[in-house]
Amino acid sequence: MKKVGVAILGLGVVGGGTYKILTDKKEFFKKTQGVDVTVEAVLEKYVERADALGIGKDKVASSIEEVCSNPAVDIVVEVIGGVEPAKTFVLKALMSGKTVVTSNKELFAKHWPELEEKARKMNVGLFFEASCVGGVPIIRTLIDGMQANDIKSIKGIINGTTNYILTKMALEGSTYEEALKEAQRLGYAEFNPTADVEGFDATYKLSILSSLAFNTKIAIENVHREGITSITKEDIAYGKELGYTIKLLAVGKNTDKGIEVRVHPAYVPNGNPLATVNDSFNAVHLVGDSVGEIMLYGRGAGALPTGSAIVSDVIFAAKHQTYYYTYFKNNEKGVKETNFTDDFTSQYFIRLSVKDLKGVLSKISGVLAKNNISIKEAKQVAEKEGVVPMVIVTHECAESSVNKALEKIKATAGVISVDSVIRIED
């Protein structure tokens, strides 16, 4: 039976979950996978975390050099997060001939080419299943399950924190601020929630997933990003009236105009399966030219779900002697050769505040028509202190047309403000 030694860098929530799975299921892996996996070392500056897990002091390394020079360690698991010192540690592990498994989406999205170059040079593995969508096996699905397909689109809810916040707002009528505080109390959101609520986390993940889906390097700079901080109770309520649910979506499409990649809040029709993905759950919807539609659903975060993805990579690495490297140009040159478009096509929900004057809707309709935008639905809500809320839903149209029209609408007599513009994704 093959014996495999593992080192874990970081014993936080995910590192602790990974350690628990590897130790508690050691005999199970022998029986079902034919590998004997042992945690040979951990690197953690808070020694009490190792004590709490029952890890002996002889297994607690004092430096990354000690981990890399340990002949019993075959695979290094990095679950520190962030760019540094994670990047330095991963590069040292690779250059010492160790296979690396990481859950670090920010590190991977920003420095994938450099990490892969070192892995290729040393003929070792670089695995990253846990970097995207927690315990959902989306990476291996894209690499090993969709070879027969030219993937046309990838769309999903890939950040659990924002999904929890939007679920609270939709089901309980919470404000954004109230829902965020509850998410922080439960540990779903960090004290500084910027990475999640402003869409950075989902952007890192979409960069990785769309690169694999479309076989080309897609840098985070190519991803259009918007967060959820401007979503209000009113947006939620109007969506319900119209049959929509708001989600922070990550969308990648391979179109005739080029590849479009975007992260933003969007209305999803209630009949769409993504509309029912609630709380901290994640889901990814794929469309391939051969298989058609596929949807993967599961826990997007947490000690054991993410630990499950990490251990999956550990077992896979242990059982395979050849490793996957990208065959497209996974570098800046590849980005420059790829045709991107930011002129997205979508339906749009536009919410305005207007004065109670005759002809305002007619003027707005005229501006939209001049920009090749047709109205699917329009409604004016009861006047409140001389201000009339107005809601317009467009037919499918180009982002550039909407932006031009909005500039004209803001300057139209009788229009007080444009309060919300939200895309609608079928």
Q: Which two tokens stand for residue 399?
A: 């982002």
| CA-only gyration radius of the chain, Å | 24
Backbone angles phi and psi of 373, in degrees to 5: -115, 120
For 345-424, CATH number? 3.30.70.260
Residue 365: alpha-carbon gap to chain centroid:
36
Every domain of the chain and the residues it spans: 2-131, 138-299, 345-424
User: 364-392 burial, b for 16+ CB within 10 Å, e for fewer?
Assistant: beebbeebebeeeeeeeeeeeeeebbbbb
Contact 172, 165 (CB under 8 A): no
Q: pLDDT tens for residues 190-244?
A: 889 999 999 999 999 999 999 999 999 999 999 999 999 999 999 999 999 999 9
For 2-131, CATH number? 3.40.50.720
Band the pLDDT of 20: cuts 50, 70, 90: very high
Taking CA atoms, 35 is separated from 30, 207, 310, 317, in Å, by 5, 33, 16, 11
Contact 123, 95 (CB under 8 A): no
* Torsion sign, CA atoms 97, 314, 284, 264: negative
Q: Which two tokens stand for residue 7?
A: 């080192």
Domains 2-131 and 345-424 share a fold: no
Q: Which two tokens stand for residue 229?
A: 């901080």
CATH of 138-299, one of 3.30.360.10, 3.40.920.10, 3.40.50.2300, 3.40.50.10490: 3.30.360.10
The residue annotated as part of the active site, out of 155, 205, 217, 247, is: 205
Contact 341, 255 (CB under 8 A): yes
Band the pLDDT of 379: cuts 50, 70, 90: confident
Distance linking the first and last C-alpha atoms of the chain: 50
Q: pLDDT tens for residues 318-372?
A: 999 889 899 888 888 888 899 999 999 999 999 999 998 888 889 999 999 999 9
Say what the pLDDT of residue 331 is: 85
Residue 164: alpha-carbon gap to chain centroid:
14
Environment class of 3 (CB within 10 Å of its CB; exposed 0-12, middle 13-18, buried 19+): exposed
Contact 364, 412 (CB under 8 A): yes
| 205 tagged catalytic | yes
Taking CA atoms, 7 is separated from 22, 102, 368, in Å, by 11, 12, 60
51 CB neighbour count, 10 Å cutoff: 12
Q: pLDDT tens for residues 122-157?
A: 999 999 999 999 999 999 999 999 999 999 999 999
What contacts 359, CB < 8 A, 6 or more positions away? 414
